[in-house]
Amino acid sequence: MDMYISALLAGVISFLCTPLVIKMAHRFGAIDIPKDDRRVHNKPIPLWGGVAIFTGFFVSMFLFSDIHTTKLFGLFMGSIVVLVTGMVDDVRPLGAKTKLFMQFVAASILVFSGFEINFLTNFFGSSEYIYFGMFSIPVSIIWIVGVTNTVNLIDGLDGLAAGISAIAAITLGYIAFINHRYDAATITLILAGSSLGFLPYNFNPAKIFMGDAGALFLGLVLSAISIEGALKGATALTVVVPIIALGVPIFDTAFAIVRRLINKRPIMEADKGHLHHRFLSIGYNQRKAVLSIYLIGALMGAGAIALLKGELIGAGILLTLAAVVVFIPLNKVKEIEKEAEQVTVESK
C-alpha cells in the first residue's frame, strides 16, 4: 500500500509545486521563446518544470523509499547535477560538450553509489553470465548517459517526455516487481506519479515546459531504475526487456544518430526528423501526435512485459502493432515527398 501512497504523494506535490515554478521561471527569465522552425509553439512558455517533478519525486522518496541510504544519496546528488545543469542551460544555453561532461559527472556519482551493471546474461556462451569486472564502471556510465540523452531528445511536444517517461516507469516498475525488486518498483511508481502530477500543466496547450532540467532528470532516474529493476535480473532477456521498455526514446535517438551520420551532419545537431516531427508533417496536431506516441510506448511496454513472461506470441503481436503505428507517418511522409517531387518535375 505504501508503494501506491508514495506515488500519489509524489503526484500531488508535483502538481501543487508547478504553479510556483511557473512564477519562479518568469522571475528568473527561464522562458522558451520560439525562434526557429523546429519549435511548434508560437508564444513564450516558461521552463524549469523539472523542478516540480524533482521536488515531488524526492520528497516522496525520502519518506517512503527502502532503497539503501548510499544509493538514495547518490541518486539525489546526481539528480542535483543534471537539474542545475538543465536549469542553467534553459536560461543561458551551454555548449553540448559542457552538458555532456556534466552528465558524465552525474552518471559517475550514481555508479559509485551502487547503480552498477556488474554482469549480463550470456546468450551464446557456456557460462551463465558475462561479468564485466573492471569494465562494469564504464559500461554503467555509458548506459546512464545514453538513456539520459534519449529522454532529452524526445522532449519536443507538449506532454511528450512526461507521458512517455511515466509509461516507461510503470513498465520498468512491473518488471522490477516480477524480479522481486520491490525497492526499485517503488522508485518507478514515485517517478511515474511525479511525472503525471506535472502533466496537466504540460499537456497541450502547455502552460510550462519541463526544459532540459526536467528531461535530463527523468532520463537519469529512468536509467537508474532500469539498472536496479531490470538489468539486475537473471533471465536471458535481461538486456532486451529494458531496451524495449524504453523503446520510444532509445529507438528515436538511434535513428536520429544514423540519420545524421548518413546526411553527414553533426550528431548533436538538432533536426526535424524525430518521430513527433513526422507525425506533425502528415497533418497530425500536437495532441494527436503525442497520443499516438503514447500508444507506441504503451504497446512496447506491454510487449516487454509479455516477453519477460515468456508469452512470445503476445509480445510479437504487441511489438508488431507498435511498429505499424510508427511506420504510418514514415510511409505517409515518403508519399508526400514523392508527390512534391512530381509536382516540381511537372512544373519544370
> Which pLDDT score is estimated for 336?
52
Instruction: Calculate the average pLDDT of the chain.
Output: 84
User: What are the extents of the domains in the chain?
Assistant: 2-117+132-347
CA distances from 83 to 53, 80, 86, 210, 303 (A): 10, 5, 5, 11, 32
Instruction: Note the pLDDT of residue 137.
Output: 92
pLDDT of residue 307: 86
Confidence of residue 184 (pLDDT cuts 50, 70, 90): confident
Question: pLDDT (tens digit, 9 = 90+) per residue, 237-290?
Answer: 556 777 888 888 888 877 777 877 777 777 666 666 677 778 887 778 889 889
Short-list 132, 327, 133, CA closest to 239: 132
Sign of CA pseudo-dihedral 59, 193, 64, 82: negative
pLDDT of 346 strictly over 70: no
- Mean pLDDT over 3-23 rounds to 94
Residue 124 confidence (pLDDT): 55
**pLDDT of the residue at 343:** 40
Higher pLDDT, 3 or 341: 3
pLDDT digits (tens, 9 = 90+) for 149-161: 888 888 878 899 9
Average pLDDT of the segment spanning 210-220:
94
pLDDT digits (tens, 9 = 90+) for 105-146: 999 999 999 998 887 765 555 556 677 788 889 999 999 999
pTM of the model: 0.86
Distances (CA, A) of 287 to 43, 81, 168, 321: 17, 32, 19, 20
Which residues, other chains included, contact 87 with Cβ-Cβ below 8 Å and sequence gap of 6+?
30, 48, 50, 51, 211, 212, 213
Residue 344 pLDDT > 50: no
Q: Tell me, what's the pLDDT at 104?
A: 97
pLDDT score at 182: 84
Q: What pLDDT, on the 0 to 100 scale, is given for residue 348?
A: 47
Confidence of residue 340 (pLDDT cuts 50, 70, 90): very low
Give the pLDDT band of residue 334 (cuts 50, 70, 90).
Answer: low
State the pLDDT confidence band at 2, using cuts at 50, 70 and 90.
Answer: confident
Q: What is the CA radius of gyration of the chain?
A: 20
Taking residues 171-175, what's their average pLDDT? 89
Asked, as a colleague might, if the bond just before 205 is cis with ω within 30 of 0, I would say yes
* Tens-place pLDDT, residues 34-81: 766 555 666 889 999 999 999 999 999 999 877 778 889 999 999 999
Which has the minimum average pLDDT: 206-210, 268-272, 304-308, 340-344? 340-344
pLDDT of 170 higher than 50? yes
